[in-house]
């Protein structure tokens, strides 16, 4: 049985840990509110921009040459894995890493065997995980999640887009956590490039297409909007991931705080039992000593 000093030391240690996890939960809750507001504002904007682009594509006279929709044999693959810079977020990072690894082994095993699969990592945790496992990491962006902005993300989006245009990659996939609520994050694997036709069809239903006035031509506007729309979609995925990260961290810290509370209860019970046993032992020694003196 542990001594009273050891139990007291553990109680102090667990109590300090509980205070830290409680504080981290409050910080995560504060960041979550801001991140949640950001993604809630971005979703309708991205959807509306996609709808406008789809409407313009429908109105265009003849097919518009779109270099971002060029279909070719998927020989060289780029996987964009969006993780976080910090840990203590439960299974948030490990789920993305696992999904990206599964994507490689199940869908792109042939390309992987030929050494034609590479990664673009957003977040320090993804870079560390894939580098450690021997995957080729052609680009990494760390530190942009703390002060997240469209300008900070633009460089990463352009890296993937330029690589596709220059035929360095034939397909670009994004793996990230989609935010649903504080306790629920859903892993998404989406083809970023080339643009899928059904992505634009989803935005054009039987709704009436507005009567636009074009300046300059429809085709020029479409070609200008396509790269902007791609960057917005890329930014939206990172916003989703950012909100999911804080939700996962808040949930993890809440669970850690509860576990620390349960452990404190057990330690205090152990402390009281140990203290009672020590007192009982002292009493027995005193009584035994008194009886020994009386026998003399």
CATH class of 4-25+255-295: mainly alpha
Taking residue 145's Cβ as centre, other Cβ atoms within 10 Å add up to: 22
Packing angle of the helix pair 150-165, 218-295 (nearest 10 deg): 120
Domain boundaries, the chain: 4-25+255-295, 29-252
pTM of the model: 0.82
Give the C-alpha separation, 57 to 78, whole Å.
27
pLDDT tens, position by position, for the chain (296 residues)? 567 888 889 999 999 999 999 999 999 998 898 888 889 989 898 888 877 777 666 655 555 567 888 888 999 999 999 999 988 888 999 999 999 999 999 999 999 999 999 999 999 999 999 999 999 999 899 888 877 888 889 999 999 999 999 999 999 999 999 998 888 899 999 999 988 765 544 544 445 556 666 677 777 777 888 889 899 999 999 999 999 999 999 999 999 999 999 999 999 998 888 888 888 888 888 887 777 777 76
Whether the Cβ atoms of residue 242 and residue 92 lie closer than 8 Å to each other: no
Classify domain 29-252 by CATH architecture. Answer: 3-Layer(aba) Sandwich (3.40)
């Amino acid at each position: 049985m542990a001594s009273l000093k050891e139990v007291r030391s553990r109680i102090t240690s667990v109590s300090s840990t509980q205070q830290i996890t409680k504080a981290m939960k409050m910080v995560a809750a504060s960041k979550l509110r801001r991140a949640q507001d950001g993604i809630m504002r971005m979703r309708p904007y991205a959807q509306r921009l996609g709808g406008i682009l789809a409407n313009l594509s429908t109105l265009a006279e003849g097919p518009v040459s779109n270099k971002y929709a060029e279909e070719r044999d998927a020989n060289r693959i780029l996987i964009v894995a969006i993780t976080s810079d910090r840990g203590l977020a439960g299974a948030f990072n490990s789920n993305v890493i696992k999904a990206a690894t599964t994507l490689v082994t199940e869908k792109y095993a042939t390309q992987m065997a030929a050494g034609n699969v590479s990664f673009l990592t957003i977040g320090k945790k993804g870079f560390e995980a894939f580098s450690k496992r021997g995957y080729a990491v052609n680009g990494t962006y760390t530190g942009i999640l703390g002060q997240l902005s469209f300008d900070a993300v633009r460089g990463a989006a352009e890296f993937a887009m330029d690589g596709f245009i220059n035929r360095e990659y034939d397909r670009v996939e994004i793996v990230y956590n989609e935010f649903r609520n504080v306790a629920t994050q859903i892993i998404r694997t989406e083809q970023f490039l080339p643009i899928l036709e059904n992505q634009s069809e989803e935005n054009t239903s039987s709704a009436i297409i507005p009567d636009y006035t074009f300046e300059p031509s429809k085709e020029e506007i479409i070609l200008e909007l396509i790269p902007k729309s791609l960057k917005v979609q890329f930014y939206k995925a990172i916003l989703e991931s950012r909100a999911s990260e804080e939700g996962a961290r808040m949930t993890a810290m809440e669970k850690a705080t509860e576990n620390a509370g349960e452990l404190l209860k057990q330690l205090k019970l152990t402390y009281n039992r140990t203290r009672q046993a020590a007192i009982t032992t002292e009493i027995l020694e005193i009584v035994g000593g008194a009886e020994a003196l009386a026998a003399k």
